[in-house]
Amino acid sequence: MLLISLTDFLTTLIKYCKQKLREAKHYKAQLNYALNEETDKVTMVAILSKSKEEQKKDLEEVCSLMQTEINGRNHTLETV
């Protein structure tokens, strides 16, 4: 049986969350490029295949997922 210390667990969890945040930031940047007609900067083909409405909806969703509430105050995960 493998026992993981609390420190190892938390370290792994933080690394995982940071990676997901980097991915979300990249996706958000790609959506912004597409919506600002800077398609030469978009490297994710799936974004280019979406309509403007789908891109806007995805951007709104990513932005809302990157928001959190700490002690009753809203913060973006980018600033936490």
Model confidence at 71: pLDDT above 80: no
Side chain identity at residue 37, one-letter code: E
- pLDDT tens string 17-69: 899 989 999 999 999 999 999 999 999 999 999 999 999 999 999 988 887 55
pLDDT band with cut points at 50, 70 and 90 for residue 80: very low
Cα→Cα distances 2→9, 13, 25, Å: 12, 17, 34
pLDDT at 4: 77
Residue 66 exposure: Cα atoms within 13 Å on the Cβ side: 22
Task: Tell me the pTM.
Answer: 0.77
Average pLDDT for residues 7-13, to the nearest whole number?
91
Question: d(Cα 47, Cα 70) in Å, to the nearest integer?
Answer: 32
DSSP 56-78: HHHHHHHHHHTEEEETTEEEETT
